[in-house]
Amino acid sequence: MNYKVAVIPGDGIGPEIVREARKVLDKVGQKYGHEFTYQELLMGGCSIDAYGEPLTEETLEAAKASDSVLLGAVGGNVGQSNWYQLPPDKRPEAGLLKIRKGLELYANIRPAVLFDELSGACPLKPELTEGGFDFVVMRELTGGLYFGDRKTVEENGVKKAIDTLTYDENEIRRIAKWGFDVAMKRGKKVCSVDKANVLDSSRLWRSVVAKDYPEVELTHMLVDNCAMQLVRDPKQFDVILTENMFGDILSDEASMVTGSIGMLSSASLGATKLGLYEPSHGSAPDLAGQDKANPIATILSAAMMLRYSFDLEKEADAIENAVKQVLKDGYRTIDIMDEGKTQVGTIQMGDLIAERI
């Protein structure tokens, strides 16, 4: 089977980490008899330099025509780069918003995985995280408070700001479906998070996130409780399903409890199988070109692409197991380095993971 992958290395460490993910994908292809063909596209600062804008229509069309998109990261050093003299809609990060919108991606998945071998990086007490944890935050990406009408008015000399939080049942149903589909490929548990004791939008959310998947255990939790449970007992979660703003906050909290930014992958999905897969971190300009960046978040994002866009389950497992094995064998990039371990660079980390596929 041939899969057409649009590859967007981007800026900073982007090209280095994407190169390692391709190396691992190629090894998967060899081993399991698939062919991945790549089309390299420019987005972010490098696209500004080449075309004067962070994402051209041609690039967007090429991404749409692919089976899936693998992205590194975009952006430069905000204090120093000329890209940040441009108006906000012409800066590198504007490319990200435009591609997510152009590909009609409305579901964002951010896994929070604590590998047992990296438990030292987790800020929680060891007894809470023994054996590691592995859950995902599934966040609705295109509705809610961030996209509702807003205005600031003045009444009787007093300024008043109004933001509106809107969801319709179709928006809720389509993200819930992704939540359940992802749970079916994982631990078959969905915890839907809302504020149904206060908000109408949450009451609608709760009524729509119904139990159409008899094999999946569905629970509901209030967002304030969820924020506490994430640091009290993160092992209880499999899929946390929630609306845009709650997901924004909870996914950052969840990534903090893992403690290692270079390890965290992410995926954005829409109505079709085409998804956008990228590490959760940025372009780390401080590390660019030094063979120091941790490529694991990008490699794990490629594994998610195999699982969610291509339904290649055992191939995705092979990548995840190879990452675990490399950690078990004691290899670390500088960001996750620990006493008694062997420090390796970006390229060697990619080689070690590819060897273990």
For ligand NAD, the binding residues (CB under 6 A) are 13, 17, 73-76, 78, 93, 96, 261-262, 278, 281-287, 293-294, 297, 335
Buried b (16+ CB within 10 A) or exposed e, 228-237: ebbeeebeeb
If the CB atoms of residues 226 and 352 are measured against ligand NAD, the closer one turns out to be: 352
CA–CA distance, 227 with 77 (Å, rounded to integer): 32
Residues 6+ apart with CB under 8 A from 146: 244, 245, 248
Residue 98 a catalytic site member: no
Residue 160 a catalytic site member: no
For tokens 């997510």, the residue is 100
How near is the Cβ of 278 to ligand NAD at its closest, in Å? 6
Which of these is catalytic: 32, 38, 84, 146?
Answer: 146
Which of these is catalytic: 195, 238, 308, 331?
Answer: 195
If the CB atoms of residues 33 and 79 are measured against ligand NAD, the closer one turns out to be: 79
Buried b (16+ CB within 10 A) or exposed e, 132-152: bbbbbbbbbbbbbbeeeeeee
How near is the Cβ of 68 to ligand NAD at its closest, in Å? 17
CA–CA distance, 151 with 133 (Å, rounded to integer): 42
CA–CA distance, 261 with 265 (Å, rounded to integer): 9
If the CB atoms of residues 29 and 279 are measured against ligand NAD, the closer one turns out to be: 279
How near is the Cβ of 43 to ligand NAD at its closest, in Å? 9
CA–CA distance, 154 with 163 (Å, rounded to integer): 15
If the CB atoms of residues 29 and 54 are measured against ligand NAD, the closer one turns out to be: 54
Residue 252 a catalytic site member: yes
Q: Helix, strand or coil for residue 20?
A: helix
Neighbours of 303 (CB within 10 A): 26
If the CB atoms of residues 226 and 299 are measured against ligand NAD, the closer one turns out to be: 299
CA–CA distance, 344 with 355 (Å, rounded to integer): 15
Residue 32 a catalytic site member: no
If the CB atoms of residues 109 and 293 are measured against ligand NAD, the closer one turns out to be: 293
- Distances from the Cα of 335 to the Cα of 92, 170, 233, 251, 284, angstroms: 25, 42, 26, 21, 12
Residue 146 a catalytic site member: yes
How near is the Cβ of 198 to ligand NAD at its closest, in Å? 31
Which of these is catalytic: 248, 291, 335, 351?
Answer: 248
CB 320 within 8 Å of CB 283: no
Which of these is catalytic: 49, 252, 311, 317?
Answer: 252
The values of phi and psi at residue 72, to 5°, are -85, -95
How near is the Cβ of 293 to ligand NAD at its closest, in Å? 4
How near is the Cβ of 306 to ligand NAD at its closest, in Å? 20
Annotated catalytic sites, by residue? Answer: 146, 195, 224, 248, 252
